Structure 1
């Protein structure tokens, strides 16, 4: 039975488990990017980074996690960055073979790799597929050269189209990352990007609003962006285009054909567990009586040195206080357009639903939360003001 105390959790079953691997290097740091990515430098092999060393410490990092997840099956792998496609196919194969030897990996597990559309990476797609990658997420952002230049991207619109063609030949699933609200973007320019993307009929699309994140070049030297009303118009226009083309919006920024949702990201949004290895990686692992988080050293060199000298690169390892779990759960679950079943809250947090009763009541009164008692689901108004809705569940 679920523990009725709001200060003590009790999980009757552990959630699904995934693996995230962070690759921290890229060819060029984009001016809007606040991810843990570092521009490669000349002088360290042909690639500009010590590939063999990084793969070795990744495998060692994974081994430190094995006692905490022993016997549990891993349902998905996501290799993000940075630009993981900068790895050689041989290094990718070595990494995935090491993972299979150490984890109980689901036979048809979704294995995603992020990639940029540059020609060097696309030439390697066949070999990546043979190594076991079955889903690729391409950082397209725009098909218009002027927009790509404004975003600091190093590929062209034609290279993006070529990369999509190659990816569709080799991978079971392909996602295209697109952005809107770009510098000086008009309604017509945004429409052209979506219409170009739709020509490829990929199973999945991500559609992000460009925001000025702290500690980025754009935050210090902001470009001229469309007004809030113009951004809203672009979103509504392109939402209709995507819907008419058979894409369902299943998360704030994610759209998929039927049964083509990203399994790995769904696990995040449903408050599942994930091992996180690599520079700056975060992890979340549940136990019957607690839920824990870990954070690793952020800088690649510091991360590798810590793994080599101490055998781990943790800078934080803690149990999540019970009082923080409701907000963390709702922060993720309310991003899903269909929300989650109400009983998922207790299943994933180990807490009674009563701990969020006040927030649920207030959100319903403001018409931000659906009235269906069997679902925790934002209304269209709630999705529009998602930050306000999520904040209602802060301790």
Structure 2
């Protein structure tokens, strides 16, 4: 008997205080008051429509409220949202509920309120603990506020906290990057998302590139910080994610394991396996908040054809250090593992992938050349 595919729920809240020059997410700077109550109504109606796409109802294993800056919303609005969701779909007994927050957008009282709502994981957008880098990144908080936010979250009772940090910042040195890591470690939080700053199209940094560290310097920064994190007991379980044992982000793990998830909110994506093989769909919601609220072109649905499944599966699973087992491919796609050939054997011959005890995973070389691996499965 095949194992049921887990279900997650992503909720997108698109507003933030100001747009950062490197950000290509669907986020919109707040100009006036934003329509919290109307947006919550739209989210719950959006969820109703997505639930109709499920062949069978099943509990949600994780909820991730992202953005934008969801912590801009009042606790009362988030309470109405979560209660509305709970009335429409059951929560698993150990449901992980994550809220993204930025240090510059809330006061200490909000953390206790968030905790009281049943939110049990915070993801705080720190990016750096150094004022000069925060200013260059266009962040609305300073280093003191960043550190105070972590302390406030811990005092409110959160024991599962992710910190977002970036490296490869304009003119950043290896010593500065390591100093950020040391500061993060000093708070003894459970999870770290550690991303390289990249210049994405449709961002201010892409149009006016800042002076970034050269490739060799970037490599040294990344490797030095990885070694420091692992020496501190953090597991490098996904390309950009590190956690204390047992504290991996369950919501993101479901993405990388090619699980199912509903995506509600402006610009949100979803993936639903209705029947295997042959009926796996992706959903996409209107990106502009005004259009989303008007319900004009609210949702598009696209089938993932069988020919695309090997690439889709590998693109996700190979982000995980442990890779996947042969049976995972069949259980998540409905296709036989033979559909991964001959690309899989070629990558093994090239030393990019390894197979041990029915598990397929990237070698150290392969993780550095993941794009080259994925090109073989196109």
TM-score (norm 2): 0.97
Matched residue, 1:226: 213
Aligned to 1:152: 138
For the structure 1 residues 122 and 269, does the alpha-carbon distance in structure 2 shift closer, same or farther, using more than 3 Å as the test? farther
Out of 5, 23, 32, the position equivalent to 1:15 is 5
Following the alignment from structure 1 to structure 2, what is the Cα–Cα distance between the partners of residues 171 and 73?
24
Q: Deviations over 1:199-226 (max 9, x none)?
A: 0010101110000011111000000000
Partner residue, 2:294: 305
The partner residue of 2:267 within 280, 286, 306 is 280
- 1:108 matches 2:94: yes
Does structure 1 residue 31 correspond to structure 2 residue 31?
no
2:282 is the alignment partner of 1:293: yes
Please give the root-mean-square deviation of Cα atoms over the aligned residues, in Å.
1.3
- 1:329 to 2:313 alignment: yes
Structure 1 runs of 4+ aligned residues shifted over 4 Å read none
Q: Which runs of 5+ in 1 are unaligned?
A: 2-11, 43-47
What SS does structure 1 have at the residue aligned with 2:176?
helix
Residues of 1 paired with 2:53 and 2:118: CA distance?
25
Q: Say which of 28, 31, 50 aligns to 1:65.
A: 50
In structure 2, how many angstroms separate the alpha carbons of the residues matched to 1:98 and 1:20?
15
Whether the 8 Å contact between 2:44 and 2:81 is mirrored in structure 1 is yes
Shift of 1:107: 2.2
| CA shift digits 1:42-75 (9 cap, x unpaired) | 2xxxxx2011100011011111122223421110
CA distance in 2, matches of 1:386, 1:286: 26
Indicate the residue corresponding to 1:51 in structure 2.
36
Residue of 307, 311, 336 corresponding to 1:352: 336
What is the alpha-carbon distance in structure 2 between the residues aligned to residue 15 and residue 39 of structure 1? 36
Specify the SS of the correspondent of 1:132. Answer: coil
Shift of 1:167: 1.2
- In structure 2, stretches of 5+ residues that fail to align are none
Check whether the contact 1:13–1:288 (CA below 8 A) recurs between aligned residues: no
Between the two structures, name the one with larger relative contact order (CA 8 Å, sep ≥ 6).
1
Deviates more, 1:81-90 or 1:121-130: 121-130
The residue aligned with 1:77 is: 63
Between the two proteins, the alignment pairs up a number of residues equal to 374
Q: Give the whole-Å Cα distance in 2 for the aligned partners of 1:171 and 1:296.
A: 32
Equivalent residue of 1:371, what SS? strand
Q: Is the 8 A contact 2:159 2:189 kept in 1?
A: no
TM-score (norm 1): 0.92
Secondary structure in structure 2 of the residue aligned to 1:68:
coil
SS at match of 1:171: coil
- CA deviations on 1:67-91 (whole Å, 9 max, x unpaired) are 2234211100000000000000000
Q: 1: CA distance between counterparts of 2:4 and 2:198?
A: 35
Deviation at residue 376 of structure 1 after TM alignment: 1.8
